[in-house]
Each structure stands twice: as C-alpha cells, then as structure tokens.
Chains A and B, each alone.
Chain A
Amino acid sequence: MVTAETADHPATLYIDLHLIHEVTSPQAFTELEQRGLPVRRPDKTLATIDHSTPTIINDDGSRPFITEQAKFQVEQLLLNTAKHGITTHSWDSPARGIVHVMGPEVGATQPGMTVVCGDSHTSTHGAFGCLAFGIGTTQVGHVLATQCLLMRKPKSMVIWVDGDIGDDVTAKDIILAIIAKIGVGGGTGHTLEYRGKCFDAMSMDERMTVCNMSIEAGARAGMIAPDATTVEYLRGRERVPSGEEFETLAADWLTLTSDESCHYDREVRLKAQDITPMVTYGTHPGMAMPIAANVPIASDEAEQKALAYMQLTGGKPIAGVSVDRVFIGSCTNSRMDDLRAAAAVMDGRTVKGGLIAIVVPGSEAIKKQAEAEGLDIIFEAAGAQWREPGCSMCIAMNGDMAAPGELVVSTSNRNFAGRQGPGARTVLASPATAAASAIAGVVASALDVGVTS
C-alpha cells in the first residue's frame, strides 16, 4: 500500500500484476493517449486476446471473426500493447488463453500479490492467496498510468467447508452450493476467504474454479491461503525464479495464512458431506439446486419469471429436461482437471444425436497438453467439437452462441438471461455433469450415464 485510507481519502493500493485483454482496455489506452501519459510499468502488465477471438480456424488458416469490429478490437489490443512494450500472448504465443487461465499458467500470478484485470473473474487468482479483483475500464487506465488504484478496505467473510466431499462432487458443485447458500448479493462489499479441509484437499485447478465464482456471490475477491499445493504448482513455471531464489520465495508464501483466531466480519459454514452435484435452474447463479432434487417452487414474481424464461416447472425434477447444447470451457472450468473429468465421462460414449457439444480449452498450453493425453480424440470420437482456446460461449461475443430458446448445459459461470445468446437458457454445471448431459441428451449426472468415480 502506498498510502493508507483516511476518512477523506481511500487508500492508494499498489498493483503487482495487471492483466489486460481486448474488451475492456481500448478506451483506457485512448485515455492515456489523450493525456499524454505513458504506461508506468509495462513489466507488471501482461496481455492476451480471448473474448472476441474465434474458436475455429478456416481451412486457409484464417480466423473467422464474427464482425469487422471484433477483429478491429483484437488488432487494437495488439497495437496498443506493442506501442507500450507490454508482453502479449497473441496468436503466435504458446501461452495465449483466457486471461485467468493464462496468468497462473505462466506463473505470473504469485501468492501475496495484488492482481487486477478489467474483468470480474479476476477473483480466480485468489486461489494463490492473492488479493485479486476485477476493475472497470477507468481503473484500467489508472493502473496503466500509475500502477495504483484508489480503494477502501472491504469487509471480510470466511466460508468454512468442513469434512470430506463425496467422490462424485466437484469444486464447481461446492461453489454453486456456496452461492446458493449466501445468495448472489451475499458477498457484496466483502472479500471471501475459503477455509477448511475441503479446500486444503483441492488441486490448484479446483481452487481456481472456487475462487473464480466468488463474484457470482457478489464478492469482488475470494481467496485461499497458499500451501504446499500452491508452491508445487508454481515450481518451474516461466515467470517464477528457480533454485535457491524460488525456495526463499516459497518459504515467504507459506507464511501468508490467516491464523486460527482471525476475526471476520461474517462467517458461513457448510458441511462437505451435505453437498451433492449441483446445477442452476434460474437466471442467476444463486438459483442453484442439487441435480437430483426437484426444481423449487417459485416464491415470488422474480422467481416465477425466471422459471418461465427457463421453461422449467417448480416441483418437477430438473434431471431429464431436454438439452440442445453443451459447452465445456470458460475460466471456471477449462483447465486440465476439468477436461480430464469431462473426457472420463465421454470416453467410449456418444453425444446424443442432434445435440451440439463443444469443448473449448482455456489456453494453448492446455490444448497442447490435452492433445498429448489424447483427450481431443476422446471428445471427437464421442461426437463433440474440439475448439481453439478462448472465452467462447461463456460470453458469446465471438459468434459462439446458442439459438433463442435452446437449453445449454454449460460449465461457465453466468446463467443470466441472454448471456449465451438472446433467449438462450443456461444451466450451469460441472464438467462431469455437462459431459453426462451431452451423452444423455437431457440434464443428467455422471452417475446417471453409468460413470462411477
């Protein structure tokens, strides 16, 4: 922190890592230009292209952008970053990917850092014990120019999940259960900390899935204290030092924990054994339920409207509802753990006729690794499409979208009306559930299609 907050002024917070992408940065660069300001720390800024990028390549090697404007937006990012000397994982980089997948993968995200990006899912990086949160474009400009932000200290909320989780329960199910419990606005004004055996036992991929969706509970940031799993994940990555220097750094990271008696403004507890595979049934992520349960009866007009939009009936099961599309990808669930889980379900099975299933890896590195493990062959043999990395149907701004009225089982993070295309109906789920639904052609769990883990 450069200066602490007072009654009159917010604190000036120094930013250790600023991630940028094509959608929320162009107006910030224009602002700098108009003021004649340089980028203060290009070395602490890292860029990629992910949101507006096509996930297919034409036979002639060209990329079919949805509009000229989308293409221009990507070109603008490349021009801006080249001009200011900012490292950019563009088409030619083996590290290009969704910004929140790429950052940790190259080791740019490290414990104890302050990390920001013009993107609300920056909370993902909290999995490394970072204070990581999304900012708007004006603040992107502030960080480019001064490497700082003005901020008031948020309140704190701890989420304890004690006990062991069932074999068929994934990190996505845990976070959906948490959001269902505290509500979409439950974390507003707070930073979340996830604690308990459930998170200790998770891989980094799983922890990122959890922290990613902190914003769906209204919290700008969510974090998990670094431990041996964190250190081992980072060891050997491109942007971390090696040898002695790494060991010193790692020892430092391991001190970044909250002590047992730490005071929080709010405390929430869930029991791991109560959590089962989850799906959403409404038009915000708080409307989540166990896949085996019946759709809750609407208790007010808003819920009635949501159910009407989703074409679901309260009191009836959600399992068995017909599915048109399946999307496996996004910064929530496009990492190796996710793709392996989806492939395990699809292996030797066939996607239901007429259903479109697309699998979009989170980054070029993941694409390469998945192909080395033969996952692409499993997906394609099952009848799913294996795409180029990007945000794709999570935000549906690159042309990958559902038709009006179609039901999509999606591993992404938002089920808002129209998020995956005007009139599209989204059911959020884990990669295993999404893959199982692709096989069954209806909303189904892995268990329903005969996968026992």
Chain B
Amino acid sequence: MSIKPLKTVTSKTITLPAANIDTDQIIPARFLTVTTKNGLGKHAFNDWRYNDDGSETDHALNGDFAKACQIIVAGHNFGCGSSREHAPWALTDYGIRVVISTEIADIFRGNALKNGLLPIIIEKSAHQWLLDHPGEEITIDLERAEVRLPKNGGTYSFNIDAFSRHCLMEGVDEMGYLSAQDDAISQFEKTRA
C-alpha cells in the first residue's frame, strides 16, 4: 500500500542520547505476536515508559511535549538488533516521522524508509547541537536533503538515495516498481532454470 508522503517536517525534537538503542528497547519482543501493523505506538519504548504494574513512568516519552514531537534525535547506532519492522511501525504510530543520529543500523534504516519514517545520518557537530538544544523546533527539507537548525545552528545536508527520496516524497512504495519488472524477472528465471 502507499506510504504517507513526506516533503518537509517542522517539529520540536525529542532527544534520546543513549548510544546503541536497539529494537528490543523500541518495541520489546513480547509485543511481536500481533498479526497486524496497527496500534503499536502505545508500546513504543514500552519498558522505559511503563512500570511493572502498567502505570506510566515519568519518562519524557510519556509527556505531552514528546507526544507532539515528530522528530527523535538519538545516540549513535540507533535501531541496532533485530529486523522487526514492528520498530518503525511503533514509532510512526507514536507520531514520529524523522529519526536523526550519527549512525542508524542498516535493517532498521531500510524498514523505516518503507514506512514513511525518514532516517537521517548527520554529521557530529550538528548532532551535538541537537543534543545540546533538546526540544528546539527544527525543519527537515527532504527535497533539498537538508536539516535546518534555528538560533544560528546552521543548515546541514544529509545523504539519501535518490530512489528512496522519490518514494518517500511521493508516498509510493517499491512493490509497484518491482512488479513492473515482471518480464525481466521471468527472463532471468529462464536463464537460471
């Protein structure tokens, strides 16, 4: 199905500065027995957000401020661990559209792009600025592949594959593109058989 298009995002940021935030933190495995994609937002970072008795902790992610944010600024190597696409499903359902870090794990990055969640790997100085200025309103311009920081923080560009950018901006998924190659795939299968 099509994904939610993303061209620009202007939002305040939630900062989660710990390095190596793994997918078991983003969505613990015991919530993976679902057979649909919906409604995982309430379990995003479950074990940080809830006590054993189900009551909410005082973690910033439970606050109204965080719930209104669309951008997470995370420590190095965000999303490492399992291939569970439940991680981007949980984040997007929580309301996140962009994750910024100095390193984002390969599988998570791929999964995020396929779900309208933009993973941005940014240079250290900009990352440090973001960590030093939690909650500032920043702008992501996908067309220009730029992160614009307020208060003379500067403008930083990031790398994104042209194809992924196109898919995200237009809200198209890859299935259509792959299906359109049906003839070439059949041809390939013949040469291999």
A2 touches B33 (CB 8 A): no
Contact A24 B84 (CB under 8 A): yes
Annotate B68-104 by CB proximity to A: 1 below 8 A, 0 otherwise: 0000000111001111110010000000000000010
Least Cβ–Cβ distance between B4 and chain A, in angstroms: 14
Q: Which among B1, B32, B35, B77 has the highest number of chain A CB atoms within 10 Å?
A: B35
Q: Contact check: which of A23, A305, A395 meets B18 at CB < 8 Å?
A: A305
A414 CA / B179 CA spacing, docked (Å) = 36
- Of the listed stretches B56-64, B132-140, B182-190, name the one at the interface; the rest are far from the partner chain: B182-190
- Asked whether, in the complex, the Cβ of B35 is within 8 Å of the Cβ of A7, the reply is no
A416 and B81 contacting across the interface, CB-CB below 8 Å: yes
Residues in B neighbouring A24, C-beta threshold 8 A: 83-85
**Size of the chain B interface, CB-CB below 8 angstroms:** 52
Q: Report A-chain residues with C-beta under 8 Å of the C-beta of B83.
A: 24, 118-120, 122, 134-136
Interface size class, chain A:
35 or more
Q: Could you say which residues of chain B place their CB within 8 Å of the CB of A302?
A: 18-20, 75
Compute how far the CA of A419 lies from the CA of B82 in the bound complex, rounded to whole angstroms. 11
Q: A416 CA to B103 CA in the complex, in Å?
A: 18
A70 at the interface (CB under 8 A from B): yes
Say which residue of A27, A120, A152, A284 sits within 8 Å of B82 (CB atoms): A120
- Residue among B75, B106, B161, B188 with most chain A CB within 10 A: B106
Instruction: Report the separation of the CA atoms of residues A188 and B107 in the bound assembly, to the nearest whole angstrom.
Output: 9
At the interface with chain A, which of B6-14, B22-30, B123-131? B22-30
For chain A, residues 154 to 190, give those with C-beta under 8 angstroms from any C-beta of chain B: 154, 184-185, 188-189
* CB-CB nearest in chain B for A52: B33
A65: nearest residue on chain B (CB-CB)?
B33
The reply on B43 being an interface residue by CB < 8 A is no
B148: min CB distance to chain A, Å: 26
**Chain A CB within 8 A of B170 CB:** no
Residue A30, interface by CB 8 Å = yes
Write the nearest CB–CB distance from A55 to chain B, whole angstroms.
15
Contact pattern, A 1-33, Cβ under 8 Å of B = 1, otherwise 0? 011000111101010000000011011001100
Interfacial chain B residues near A27, Cβ < 8 Å: 35-37, 85
Q: Of A143-151, A243-251, A312-320, A444-452, which binds chain B?
A: A143-151
**Interface of chain A residues 386 through 437 with chain B (CB within 8 A):** 395-397, 404, 414, 416-419, 422
Looking at B47, B82, B181, the one whose CB has the most chain A CB atoms below 10 A away is B82
Cβ-defined partner of B174 (8 Å) among A150, A189, A397: A150
Inter-subunit contact A136/B178 (CB<8 Å)? no
Main secondary structure of the interface of A (DSSP, over half): loop
Please tell me if the beta carbons of A120 and B85 are within 8 angstroms of each other in the complex.
no
Contact between A141 and B175, CB atoms less than 8 A apart:
yes
Contacting A30 at CB < 8 Å: which of B36, B47, B178? Answer: B36
B33 A69 Cβ-Cβ under 8 A: yes
Let me know if A100 is at the binding interface, CB within 8 A: no
Are A73's CB and B33's CB within 8 A?
Answer: yes
Q: How far is the CA of A189 from the CA of B20 in the complex (A)?
A: 16
Could you tell me if A397 and B33 are in contact, using CB atoms closer than 8 angstroms? Answer: yes
In the bound complex, residues from chain A placing their C-beta under 8 Å from that of B189 are 14, 147
Task: List 5 other contacts, CB 8 Å, given A69-B35, A136-B114, A142-B178.
Answer: A9-B163, A12-B178, A119-B83, A138-B111, A188-B77
Going nearest first, the 7 A-B pairs with the smallest beta carbon separation are A136-B111, A136-B85, A185-B77, A26-B35, A134-B83, A120-B83, A138-B114
| B contact residues vs A (CB 8 Å cutoff) | 1, 18-20, 22, 24-25, 28-30, 32-37, 47, 52, 75-77, 80-85, 88, 103, 105-107, 110-111, 114-115, 161-163, 173-175, 177-179, 181-182, 184-185, 188-189, 192
27 A-B residue pairs with CB within 8 Å:
A10-B161, A26-B36, A30-B35, A69-B33, A72-B33, A119-B82, A119-B83, A136-B110, A138-B114, A139-B114, A146-B181, A147-B189, A148-B185, A150-B178, A154-B106, A185-B103, A188-B103, A188-B106, A218-B106, A284-B20, A284-B80, A302-B19, A302-B20, A395-B29, A404-B52, A416-B22, A422-B52
| Residues of A bordering B, CB below 8 Å | 2-3, 7-10, 12, 14, 23-24, 26-27, 30-31, 34-35, 37, 40, 51-52, 67, 69-70, 72-73, 76, 118-120, 122, 134-139, 141-142, 145-150, 152, 154, 184-185, 188-189, 215, 218, 220, 284, 286, 302, 305, 395-397, 404, 414, 416-419, 422
